[in-house]
Copies of this chain bind each other. A is one copy, B any other.
Amino acid sequence: MTRKKKKATIHDISKALGFNSSTVSRALNDSPLIADKTKKIILEKSKELGYQRNSLASKLRTNKTKTIGVIVPRIARHFCSSVIAGIEEMAFDKGYDVIICQSLETVKREKKLLDTLLANRVDGVLIAISMETTNFDHLENYKNEGFPLLFFDRPCDIEGCTNVVIDDFKASFDATEHLIRKGCKNIVHFSGPKTLALYRNRWRGYRAALEKNNIPLNDNYIFESKLMEKDGVIGAQKILSLPEVDGVFSANDTTAISAMQYLKKNGKNVPEDIAFVGFNNEPMSAVFAPSLTTIHQPGFEMGRMASSLLFEEIDGTRRVKGDQVKVLNPELIIRDSTSKHMLSESI
């Protein structure tokens, strides 16, 4: 256990060899100006001395970090980690590093993370805003300064933003109509905070499907929450007091599964008594009994798309004028939680 050694610098290499430090720098950057044999000598010596470039100095000098930041609500969520995988793949191809951060659904952390990323002069940021984020000032400031900031999954309404999202309206419309086709007449909707455009869109899709099928809207059937596990229990309890309810469209899987568990324990059968459709296609949903019909979102694709747009903005190859929206297509995954064989289905 040696004591912490001082790191070798290009000056150490230059002194050891008699070359000037700028020659060393150029050689280490594989500049075409430097003779091959010189490069070889310098590279060897640098290995010998255990040289490792100080990125801080380099970034400070060049004013480029070749690094982007990503802020997601929670890295553990399947959808988030898919998006991250897509981003990392794209970034790798472009030679960029990625700093992953989680806001844990709080604005406070979101602000702090954004500040830290910018203090570290990342070249751009991709963000899925937190559930608490209703005021966009902290984002708008940076956006107005011309900083490459791009939103995915949860769109942001401020001017001049690029949003990469899935078609939440259509997905929810399809999900709800699927329940209706399965014979459901009294469909509850587990909604997230309607302060988020995302959840407003899902709610609108639900309503549109009911309207189109001449099913009266009932405000008592909209349960708004943060869609945590406990909210599923609360939702299930409310449902038990509404015996006519025969279907649930939940804006995420976690809450749907939690509700199904509670209902099963309390003598309700899924899908026979109540059918369920979730959202997100968490791995858990395929494995729960009954497996959950849900919406699959192309997370990996979204990550690739969002980062590729961000890189265009960073490189200046994309002119950003006014709002831009890229919409990806979600997919309804039909499973057992809606496998009723009811009369209406064959009509």
Contacts and interface: CB of A to CB of B under 8 A. Distances in A.
Interface of A: 1-5, 50, 52-57, 59-60, 65, 74-76, 78, 81, 84, 97, 99-101, 115-116, 118-121, 141, 144-147, 160, 257, 261, 283-284, 287-289, 320-321
Contacts of A56: 56, 59-60, 65, 120-121
27 contacts: A1-B160, A1-B321, A2-B145, A3-B146, A5-B145, A5-B146, A50-B145, A53-B119, A54-B121, A55-B116, A55-B119, A55-B120, A56-B56, A56-B59, A56-B60, A57-B60, A74-B81, A75-B76, A97-B116, A99-B99, A100-B100, A100-B101, A257-B287, A261-B287, A283-B284, A288-B288, A289-B289
Contact of A141 (B50, B118, B147, B320): B50
Contacts of A287: 257, 261, 284, 287-288
Nearest to A2: B146
Given A5-B146, A81-B75, A287-B288, A52 B118 contact: yes
Sorted nearest first, the 7 A-B pairs with minimum C-beta distance are: A289-B289, A76-B81, A4-B146, A55-B119, A75-B75, A56-B60, A284-B284
A120 B56 CA distance: 6
Given A2-B144, A145-B5, A100 B120 contact: no
Contact of A4 (B60, B115, B145): B145
Nearest to A3: B146
Contacts of A97: 116
Contacts of A283: 284
A85 B296 CA distance: 27
Assembly stoichiometry (copies): 2
Contacts of A52: 115, 118-119
A52 B115 CA distance: 8
A63 to B, nearest CB: 9
Most buried by B among A55, A261, A284, A288: A55
A329 B335 CA distance: 39
A54 B50 contact: no
A320 B57 CA distance: 30
A59 B289 CA distance: 53
A320 B145 CA distance: 47
Contacts of A288: 287-289
A121 B75 contact: no
Contact of A147 (B4, B55, B81): B4
Contacts of A121: 54-56
Nearest to A120: B55
A74 B288 CA distance: 23
Contacts of A321: 1
Most buried by B among A53, A115, A145, A321: A145
Given A2-B145, A5-B146, 14 more contacts: A1-B160, A1-B320, A2-B144, A5-B145, A50-B141, A50-B145, A52-B119, A54-B60, A56-B56, A56-B60, A75-B76, A99-B99, A261-B287, A284-B284
A237 B198 CA distance: 43
